Structure 1
Amino acid sequence: MNLETTIKKPADCNQEELADFERLINEGGEVTAVGLRGRILQAEKLVLINQAGKCVAIGAIKNPNPGYKVGVFNKAGVAASQQYKFELGWLYVPEEERGKGNGRELMRVITESLIGQKSYATTRENNQVMHKLFEAFGYTKAGKSYPSQNGDYLLALYTSG
């Protein structure tokens, strides 16, 4: 597969890496573009997976805003959000790169970086591929699904630990 994985703080990324990351988040179409670069720069770590000079997967270990985090857990009907320091987010594999193990590699890199630390993630209720990936890497669905603020779909909360 010959993948090149980069995991580093946003401040350590060059402008090309940040631009690729932001472009792919926007391509995914599920995140508000307003203020996105600022939110990217606040992440704990960014993960970019490249193959033959092309970015084939991205993801982040995010430092969620405390109010946002409490809101997510409350909407899902789950207590104890304070246990979870990090959020997995912006996990995205371009459509033409799916089915090649890129999502699995992305999750492997992220979860290895988080060993011993509790984290959470949200995904569309109907995204069975992500549900299987989360479960394969030790995440469990928590609480009930709730309406997204970014579209007409439900979100599911997954937690580790």
Structure 2
Amino acid sequence: MAMTYKIETQAPSSCTFDQLQQFERLVLSGGEVIPAGLTGRINRSFRLAWALDGFEIVAVAALKRPNERYRSSVFLKSGTSEAPNSWEAELGWIFVSEGHRRNGLARRLVAALFQEEPSRNAFATSREHNDPIMPLLEEFGFVIEGNPYVSENGEYNLVLHLKQA
């Protein structure tokens, strides 16, 4: 029997404390995010999305509002000639809990975010050889820009992807 999930998106300001805590817990469980300052970064986002299995959040994604220094750093490290200030939103924190993968949840969350925020230029970063995420980003109009660069979080390269509204 196929599982049924409820997809929701909200601005952080209209989320409950419990929703924000569940969202943050799931983002942290992915192990790809620096925990320091995460609560504030979540609260500054344009929009959060999650998939519910009953009352439990089992997958998350967001259109983040990165600060200018971080955004400029990403664009500089990638070697792109694109102006960082033209890309105000960052798609990220895409994470699906282990038992809920391969159900199209990441795709549904990204679709919901861009349905709610269609007029924002967005960027995303991914690991250079992250095979599951590359086709998903392409499907939503992201193109690789610049060159792979070394991540500050580990021994791997990151790739910059851009999507015009």
Name the TM tier (shorter chain): over 0.9
CA contact (8 A) 1:56 1:102 kept: no
Could you say which residue in structure 1 is the equivalent of 2:90? Answer: 87
Structure 1 match to 2:70: 68
* Deviates most, 53-62 or 131-140: 53-62
Partner of residue 18, structure 2:
16
Q: Alignment length, in residue pairs? A: 161
Deviation by residue 1:38-84 (Cα, 9 ceiling, x = unmatched):
11111111111112222121011111101110110111111211211
Kindly state the Cα deviation for residue 134 of structure 1 after the two structures are TM-superposed.
0.2
In structure 2, C-alpha distance between the alignment counterparts of 1:44 and 1:125, rounded to whole Å? 26
Paired amino acid for 1:158: H
* TM-score (normalised: structure 2): 0.92
Taking structure 1 as the reference length, the TM-score comes to: 0.94
Structure 2 matches for 1:17-32, cutoff 5 A? Answer: 17-32=19-34
Structure 2 residues not aligned, in runs of 5+ = none
Match for 2:84: what amino acid? S
CA contact (8 A) 2:47 2:113 kept: no
Counterpart in the other structure of 1:38: 40
The answer to whether structure 1 residue 100 and structure 2 residue 71 are counterparts is: no
Displacement of 1:2 in angstroms is 3.0
CA contact under 8 A between 2:61 and 2:106: conserved in structure 1? no
Q: Would you identify which runs of 4 or more consecutive aligned residues in structure 1 move more than 6 Å?
A: none
- Which residue identity does 1:18 align to in structure 2? L
Gaps of 5+ in 1: none
Preserved CA contact (<8 Å) 1:46 1:58: yes
Q: What percent of counterpart residues are identical?
A: 35
- 1:6: which partner in 2? 8
Determine helix, strand or coil for the equivalent of 2:51: strand
Q: Which residue of 1 aligns with 2:124?
A: 121
Partner of 2:32, secondary structure, is coil
> 2 CA distance for matches of 1:107 and 1:4?
14
